[in-house]
Structure formats: structure tokens, C-alpha cells
Amino acid sequence: MNQINVVISGFGPYEDLEINPSHEVPLALEHAKNGDLASDFNLPEDVSVKITSVMLPISFANAWPHLLETINAQDADIVIATGVKHAARGVQLERCATNIMDANKPDVDNHTPQSVQIVENGPAAYWTRLPLRMILNDFAHSGIASTLSSDAGTYVCNSLFYRLLDWASNNSKKRIIAGFVSFPPVVALHDARHGLPLDAQIKAGKSIICEAVNYYMKPSSSGILLK
């Protein structure tokens, strides 16, 4: 039996969201049965997927160290970080993390960095390592509203995304599949103007994990979509 370890992160409370999908979706996925993933998304019978969720503070300084601690503890093969975009109408697959912190509001530590590099003299940007084309195809078949997003902004989400990809790119011990997904607000019924129901977002999370697992087992450049 091949075990693949997946870490999926979310963020703590957003002041203006009654239901935080980046909290609820990772927790739901952690408690999903491996058999559910295998039957719903056609994973091979000899693959076992262990999913660990972790909630992070909305903090430039502390979100990444907290995630890294969990990654190391779980010996993660796949890392999916998630956040929320309030204006999103569907699930947004983030293509790129940029090397800049430029906040227009303080984080939970009352820190407001402006036009500061995340990693001094680091690359200007990193591309995601998630198989976006495969995920989008699966979303289309499942009727899940989604889109590609050029970047995750310049706040804590982007900072976490950049540090995750910087770490993965410089990890010489193993190949890591990593990326960032932005969820829309939770709405009671599907409404393309305002967001998605929570069950649809959980289903999207399952799809992302399963396609990442399939890609981890059989990597192919055709699974990646950057443009």
C-alpha cells in the first residue's frame, strides 16, 4: 500500500465572515474516509491518502512557520494552502506567488508591511505546482464554478504561498506538490454572483486533493496550466 501524506491549511477567523470555508473545508477533508476519496475520484486501490488539516493565524510572521511545522511533522508529499477571496464567485486556482508584501490593513499581529520583499533577493515569483488543468477539467465535469487567478494578492495569503513554493523549490530531499487555492464566500444556494454552498466547496477540495495525488503518482507536463 502506497501512502501519500497531504497537508491542507486554512486560516483562522475572518472578522467579516460568519462561515469561513478555509476553516471548514480542510477540517471536512481531514475527516473524509480514504474509501470515499478512492470511490469518488477513482484513486488506485493500492493508494492510501492521509490528510492532515492545520489552521493558521492571519499573520505575515507566523503563518508559514506554523505550516512548516506541520509539513515536517507529517512528512508531507502534497501541500495545499487555502484562503478566502471575498469577491470570488467560484473556487480560484492561484497560478503564481509574487515576492512582495504590500498590506493595506494590519494582520493579527498589527503588522502592515508595505512594498517589502518576502524573501530578500529571492525570485520575483514562483509558479504553482498543482495540476491546474486536471483540476479545472474535474471541476467542469462536476459543475463546480471555478477560474484561474493570476496571483493571490499581496497580503498574508500570497506571503504564505510564496514561502511554501520557495521551500518546495529548494527542498532537495523529495519532490513536493504544492499550491494555493482561494475559496469564495459560503452561500446557502448556488449563486454565481456571490459564492458557493459549503458542500460544493468541500467537493472541490476533494477533487483538488485527488487530482494532486494522481499527478504526484504520474507527473505530466500536460497536467499543468500556467497561461
Q: Nine-digit cell at 136?
A: 479545472
Q: Is 95 helix (H, G, I), strand (E, B) or coil?
A: coil
**Alpha-carbon Rg for the chain in angstroms:** 16
Q: What are phi and psi of 187, to 5 degrees?
A: -125, 155
Q: Say if residues 161 and 178 touch (Cβ distance below 8 Å).
A: no
Catalytic residue positions, numbered:
157
- Pairing of the two strands 146-149 and 78-84: unpaired
Closest CA to 198 of 208, 188, 209: 188
Q: Nine-digit cell at 131?
A: 495540476
Gap between the Cα atoms of 19 and 67, Å rounded: 22
The residues pairing with 2 across neighbouring beta strands, listed in sequence order, are 47
Q: Is 129 helix (H, G, I), strand (E, B) or coil?
A: coil
CA distances from 173 to 75, 170, 181 (A): 11, 9, 25
Gap between the Cα atoms of 60 and 64, Å rounded: 8
The residues pairing with 195 across neighbouring beta strands, listed in sequence order, are 191
Gap between the Cα atoms of 126 and 166, Å rounded: 7
